[in-house]
Structure 1
């Protein structure tokens, strides 16, 4: 794979110190590779980082810990644990307080007694049994996804034809929307909305998100919502510290100009060129920068790179970070305010790429569960308003989006709704300082394509083998990890992706990962092995599977 002398550690340069990058760095360093991480910003974590205003602290991006097993697995694989890293996780109870547009609200909890009471208010006595049925289906989605998607690589279309995966495809309901599946269990619009809003964590409309994503509701109600004391960045900090202890060199404030390829014409990644002109040579390159940005700015221009810019992408957000001069008792740690025109608001985000006239939005108060997030007697508040991504006016022919005006409109709508629903007419006067991120901020600070905060979309044609792969098709020794590559977006999913990419690299090097005793040559069935099974994957079988998939897709998109 390289020209390094035997016994000398292979060198790896990782572009980007986001969650996927620092987790991959720690894993590869644990396997004996010499790892250098280069990051354009002066902080680690990417969107999973912190903002400060005096004694007020805000999570810039993620603010709730879901799918906890993926976090525990990461630290276990690295020979430690969340507890040993002195990370204190606290359980949020209730999970959320959901506010409806008429001023009423609903508490969501892992406590079955609480949920029985709350659900029967809207669905009657039979509603709780239907809720349990919904959780049963969501549990199947969760377990099957963890086994067959989040812990497996999809390196080609043949990966989707694994018998172990194919026999569960219909059980995962990928061709029906999560809203459609929820409608099978809940008769009231309110609960259909309550149990589908979480698809926004993947940056996709609940009207289009595959039913598989009810796994998010399952982890919320079965495993709970957690929060690390000190902020979500504590997870990243711990991974960085593990990497440091194993020799990872972090180069902060070091932007990358391009990925170098071998001068011998072999199309092999051989390092990176920094913005300063410095060259860092390496045997392998792993890109954790935004994937669409990387293909179009760090690598040779190709038709594939151009095609990535036309793919459906996730939404963006206008996010407010407010320092309050008092405690707002009427807000819990996690609060959701749902728009009256639920469906229409998502159409405006994902079809018109605009800000809804009446947005649904999320309010996080970290100081409600973590006293270190704000000075005594005060609150820190984060408001996330989902909006459409940046549009290219030259392509669409529409006027450029006026983000200053949209920020002002979003602030006004949010404060108006909070005043109305919480009975706090003076809440705007209690804000002592405001920080704002809008789609342009996300684009400029983190090189996010179109300012999309969660990368490429997660509809059917952007997941599994259709999602950009963890290894470049034509440039050898070049790999990817992060939100827009397989398996997808979100902190726990990127941690799973870091394991997938690391194991792919180590397998191709013939190195047994320290976290497993299974030799790399036997760990997974490769696509080449799959193609050798001619009796199983005959042309007729492939055509049959393709026909079924197309029929199901036409049914779904014809809804």
Structure 2
């Protein structure tokens, strides 16, 4: 790189998008610093260890779209295998409905046979569905997802327009799934992946059937040591490229100046009462929080803008260390033994604590012997919630008891409540405290049609020349693979 073009780049937040942006910016020859308010990297993908010998990933636990993660490593001359061992899960997960318990196998032929056994003709329909989903995945990941989304003109090439017609952007995911499958069980299994996108399947564009392909067909994986192995690998790449990461470094007191051309820039900011400067600033922290640090006239969006947005849910997460084994439990278990639509209404319409919640359990000790002491299980319980709820210890305990009762009902784990060796909960208040998350959200903005592509918050500040944004509140959206891509997009912008 021409040294005269070398810039000092400050990235606020060491989450996945921030680490990704740092790696790409450093590879381009810039001096890069990451400022992280917490004491460890990873953002929502942090990890913690306990005195009892348990290791808990705090957030992401589904390793899907492995090709997108491999693309990140390949951009820096590596493979994921250079940093960690990646094992396929078989079964990929277990699905508990009101009247059945079904394991989703790794092999596509076995999934097809499972669908056929549930509904005659559904095996072929599964193939048809996945053929269309593969097209959406390849087009979406190769032609659409890496756009900075400044203008609709980015999507007006003839090849993109012809592909867009086959993406079913204007059809909702629920009706799309219903056109293939009639069985309530199969429809629930196929609707499940888009819940990661933070909205009801009736509000998500059918384009996102690409999630089914990226999960079921490309497989569900587990990095030995936990999801934090990805974070450790990204930190290693970043630091080898010269990136410096500063912990306990919350940013405040931004000072703006205007140059002779009347371009406004962030001239300086403070960390622990010390003044610092930068040529370019990338906010990988919560978008709305970053805007709140600016005078109102220099914000991209008003408070009313954020109030009108549809946010993905928050979550009640409980990390449990359990004495003894739970023999029949799998690595991933989805408890859909209650009403999906009722729970979704309580999240998006009523904004209340659920009466009869759905939830998810991850038991990584089934795959990884290092995350729990010998003879014990590591459990991660997650229950989706509305944002902005009043979060009390009494509520956390109430819903933990509900989840444990249903685990005990379906699995061979008598007296599970008496076998708890370690317990920690994490909920709305913690998301606000640790990440400045708007409303305590866990997954950013929902990927509804009105919040897709150019309709998402802009990756650049329109009034401050050297301020950019990355992460789950901007393009391409929530999730680990999109966050990796978001970091790359914004690094290219500078």
| TM-score calculated relative to the size of structure 2 | 0.95
Tell which deviates more after alignment, 9-18 or 259-268: 259-268
Deviation at 1:472, TM superposition (A): 1.4
Tell which deviates more after alignment, 436-445 or 346-355: 346-355
Larger Cα-atom Rg: 1
Q: Quick check: 1:438 aligned with 2:427?
A: yes
Partner of 2:385: 387
Q: Quick check: 1:182 aligned with 2:177?
A: yes
How many residues are matched? 489
Q: How does 1:240-389 map to 2 (within 5 A)?
A: 240-262=235-257, 264=259, 266-270=262-266, 272-298=268-294, 300-301=296-297, 302=299, 304-306=301-303, 307-389=305-387
Q: How does 1:440-455 map to 2 (within 5 A)?
A: 440-455=429-444
- Partners of 1:279 and 1:163 lie apart in 2 by 49
Partner of 1:95: 92
Partner of 1:18: 15
Deviation at 1:80, TM superposition (A): 2.1
Tell which deviates more after alignment, 306-315 or 488-497: 306-315
- Partners of 1:162 and 1:272 lie apart in 2 by 40
- Residues 25, 35 of structure 1: 8 Å contact kept: yes
1:32 to 29, 47, 56: 29
* Structure 2 CA distance for partners of 1:410 and 1:207, relative to 1, 3 Å: farther
- Partners of 1:191 and 1:8 lie apart in 2 by 55
Partner of 1:205: 200
Please, which runs of 5 or more residues in structure 2 have no aligned partner?
A: none
Deviation at 1:375, TM superposition (A): 1.0
- Partners of 2:117 and 2:415 lie apart in 1 by 31
1:470 to 449, 459, 466: 459
Please, which runs of 5 or more residues in structure 1 have no aligned partner?
A: 392-400, 506-559
Q: Quick check: 1:226 aligned with 2:221?
A: yes
Deviation at 1:6, TM superposition (A): 5.8
- Residues 282, 467 of structure 2: 8 Å contact kept: yes
1:446-505 CA-to-partner distances (Å, cap 9, x unmatched) read 110001111122111111100012211121121111111111111111101111111222
1:165-203 CA-to-partner distances (Å, cap 9, x unmatched) read 332223211222222111111111111111111112122
* Structure 2 CA distance for partners of 1:110 and 1:402, relative to 1, 3 Å: closer
Q: Quick check: 1:157 aligned with 2:152?
A: yes
Tell which deviates more after alignment, 146-155 or 43-52: 146-155
Deviation at 1:309, TM superposition (A): 3.7
- Residues 39, 254 of structure 1: 8 Å contact kept: yes
- Partners of 2:354 and 2:155 lie apart in 1 by 37
- Partners of 1:272 and 1:176 lie apart in 2 by 47
CA RMSD of aligned residues (A): 1.9
* Structure 2 CA distance for partners of 1:83 and 1:423, relative to 1, 3 Å: closer
* Structure 2 CA distance for partners of 1:51 and 1:353, relative to 1, 3 Å: farther
- Residues 391, 429 of structure 2: 8 Å contact kept: no
- Partners of 2:286 and 2:394 lie apart in 1 by 27
| TM-score calculated relative to the size of structure 1 | 0.84
Q: How does 1:24-173 map to 2 (within 5 A)?
A: 24-54=21-51, 55-84=53-82, 86-102=83-99, 104-124=100-120, 126-173=121-168
- Residues 257, 272 of structure 1: 8 Å contact kept: no
